[in-house]
Amino acid sequence: MNLMVYNTLKRKKEPFEPINEGQVGIYVCGITAYDRCHIGHARSAVVFDVIVRFLRKIGYRVTFVRNFTDIDDKIINRANEEGISTKELAEREIDHFYQDMDALGVLRADIEPRATEHIADIIALIERLIKKGFAYESGGDVYFSVRKFPRYGMLSGRNLEELMAGARIVPGEKKADPLDFALWKSAKPGEPSWESPWGLGRPGWHIECSAMSMKYLGETFDIHGGGLDLAFPHHENEIAQSEAATGKQFVRYWVHNGFVTIKGEKMSKSLGNFITIKDILSQYHPEALRLFLLSKHYRSPLDYSPESLREATSALDRCYKAVYEANEVASMAIKKQRPLPEHVKETVAFIKTLSEKVEMAMADDFNTAKALGSFFEAVRSLNRVVESARKKPSALYKDVMDECVKELFSVSKIFGILSQTPEEYIAKRNMDALSASGLSLDELETLLSERNEARRQKDWKRADEIRDSLSKKGIILKDTPSGTKWSADL
């Protein structure tokens, strides 16, 4: 398979060739643990989750590293506001992160290093930079000399003159040059700090990612990911620090996901226009959120609206219902071995090409939107087969259904959807609807039997009255040959 990956460094798609055949090392910048995660964090997490799932699916042995920044200005400020320690705050927010990610079905990374547990590695890297003349100590701080690294700006497409124009000299900083950035910050009174050759202090934000990524993946590794907003200055600084220290290329492929916007504007903490993952999940199924996040190419902006989540929910419902119906057909006790019609055989053959199509789409710079298109085509095809099976039953449908469902599940694992059985999914949706309706199961069943009695007597007025009143409460009735079924207003 020819995997093509858009590399921010080259500004184009290029063939993916890992350093070691069959193996991929990938590092993704995780969160700064000081607050609840919002949909933007969910996008980054889900995008790289799917990338990792896909790489594994096509046979790569992947080492996935995602860090936690657990010491930083924002953490210190927030901890002070709340009157708790930075450690307590970080622990709490990391717990929240795991709650959100577990709910979203985002797999754990293989290694999840924290900055505060890698102080020695960070100090060693800074010392290496000082020794090579790329960094200098100044009043307890250590800074990186940007001008000593001529390739600075290679990732973000900037040059030093442009950067100088925008650079500000902040009073109180001890930099020799406004372009320089901090590797180590001396401790202010009351701040958490660690011993270092330059006195008590703490690491700057950028250096931790260089130290931790190289520790676990080597001095040159395959993929480094993160949100597009990290490209400058964070990733630019990582390149400078790492390559200055090692003299080697740091990362081969830089992969950046686009933002989640809301009413066309970037969702961010600073604008205050964010919606937390927790809030979304209190209203929508986690897989609906995944579907929404994967509905557009990962590099493009993605606009959030409640409507978009409702659409994703409808689409997800359709997938689960299709599998549910297929399972039901497969479990029907049919003796007759009526041969399957030609068009059914063709449709089944079509469904079986799904994996291949999805893998092709994903191999083209992880085109989840295209891949999902194929997935939905297969869902419709499956429904078509179910329709045929219901019209002219045959025992031969059982194996066919099982094969089709297996194909769908195999692909849905890449997206991280359909992780529940359709029975679980539908039961949960129904129970949610029931509790929202304010009725007990007994009350509902009483109404249903009353309606069935009315229908038996062809009292359509009464029957429709009951159906309408339930519909207003979010419960939909379906009169099927095997009796009346109720379900959530899916």
Partner RNA sequence: GGCGGCGUAGCCAAGUGGCUAAGGCGACGGUCUGCAAAACCGUUAUUCCCCGGUUCGAAUCCGGGCGCCGCCUCCA
Closest by CA to 297, choosing from 367, 381, 350, 222, is: 367
Task: Give whichever of 127 and 324 is closer to RNA, judged by the CB atom.
Answer: 324
Q: Decide: 39 and 275 in contact? Cβ < 8 Å.
A: yes
Q: Decide if residue 460 touches RNA (CB under 7 A).
A: yes
Binding to RNA, residues 394-413 (CB under 7 A): none
3-state secondary structure 294-362: CCCCCCCCEEECHHHHHHHHHHHHHHHHHHHHHHHHHCCCCCCCCCCCHHHHHHHHHHCCHHHHHHHHH
Q: What's the CA gap between 328 and 477, in Å, rounded? A: 18
Binding region for RNA (CB under 7 A) out of 97-105, 121-129, 191-199, 256-264: 256-264
Instruction: Find the shortest distance in angstroms from Cβ 334 to RNA.
Output: 18
Task: Give whichever of 187 and 231 is closer to RNA, judged by the CB atom.
Answer: 231
> Across the chain, which distance is largest between two alpha carbons, in Å?
93
* DSSP of 142-210: EEE-GGG-TTTTTTTT--HHHHHHH----TT---SSTT-EEEEEEPPTTS--B--TTSSEEE-HHHHHH
Binding to RNA, residues 266-325 (CB under 7 A): 266-270, 295-297, 300-303, 307-308, 310-312, 314-315, 318, 321-322, 325
Task: Give whichever of 301 and 393 is closer to RNA, judged by the CB atom.
Answer: 301
Binding region for RNA (CB under 7 A) out of 40-48, 105-113, 185-193, 407-415: 40-48
Q: What's the CA gap between 23 and 245, in Å, rounded? A: 25
Q: Decide if residue 387 touches RNA (CB under 7 A).
A: yes
Instruction: Find the shortest distance in angstroms from Cβ 221 to RNA.
Output: 18
Instruction: Find the shortest distance in angstroms from Cβ 489 to RNA.
Output: 8
Instruction: Find the shortest distance in angstroms from Cβ 303 to RNA.
Output: 6
Task: Give whichever of 130 and 179 is closer to RNA, judged by the CB atom.
Answer: 179
Instruction: Find the shortest distance in angstroms from Cβ 31 to RNA.
Output: 5
Binding to RNA, residues 69-108 (CB under 7 A): 74
Instruction: Find the shortest distance in angstroms from Cβ 390 to RNA.
Output: 8
Candidates 32, 63, 67, 241; binder of RNA (CB under 7 A) is: 32
Q: What's the CA gap between 191 and 11, in Å, rounded? A: 41
Q: Decide if residue 213 touches RNA (CB under 7 A).
A: no
Q: Decide if residue 204 touches RNA (CB under 7 A).
A: no
**Exposed / middle / buried, residue 473 (Cβ in 10 Å: 0-12, 13-18, 19+):** middle
Q: Give the number of other CB atoms < 10 A from CB of residue 297.
A: 18
Task: Give whichever of 111 and 160 is closer to RNA, judged by the CB atom.
Answer: 160
∠ CA 145-150-151, rounded to 5°:
110
Candidates 108, 380, 392, 428; binder of RNA (CB under 7 A) is: 380
Residue 64 β-bridge partners = 26
Q: What's the CA gap between 327 and 202, in Å, rounded? A: 58
Q: Decide: 298 and 47 in contact? Cβ < 8 Å.
A: yes
Binding to RNA, residues 147-176 (CB under 7 A): 156-158, 162-163, 165-167
Q: Decide: 235 and 155 in contact? Cβ < 8 Å.
A: yes
Task: Give whichever of 102 and 195 is closer to RNA, judged by the CB atom.
Answer: 102
Q: Decide if residue 193 touches RNA (CB under 7 A).
A: no
Q: Decide: 76 and 86 in contact? Cβ < 8 Å.
A: yes
Candidates 25, 43, 404, 448; binder of RNA (CB under 7 A) is: 43
Q: Decide if residue 124 touches RNA (CB under 7 A).
A: no
Q: Decide if residue 110 touches RNA (CB under 7 A).
A: no
Task: Give whichever of 252 and 451 is closer to RNA, judged by the CB atom.
Answer: 451
> How many chain residues touch RNA (CB under 7 A)?
84
Q: What's the CA gap between 209 and 222, in Å, rounded? A: 15
Which x/- pattern, by CB under 7 A, does the window 45-74 give for RNA? -----------------------------x
Candidates 352, 370, 398, 473; binder of RNA (CB under 7 A) is: 370
Locate 121 and state its tokens: 């590695």
List the alpha helices (DSSP H) in 218-285: 236-246, 277-281
∠ CA 174-34-267, rounded to 5°:
95
* DSSP of 375-403: HHHHHHHHHHHHHHHHHS--TTHHHHHHH
Task: Give whichever of 19 and 273 is closer to RNA, judged by the CB atom.
Answer: 273
Binding region for RNA (CB under 7 A) out of 106-114, 193-201, 421-429, 455-463: 455-463
Candidates 463, 470, 475, 488; binder of RNA (CB under 7 A) is: 463
Q: Decide if residue 364 touches RNA (CB under 7 A).
A: yes
Q: Decide if residue 234 touches RNA (CB under 7 A).
A: yes
Instruction: Find the shortest distance in angstroms from Cβ 453 to RNA.
Output: 12
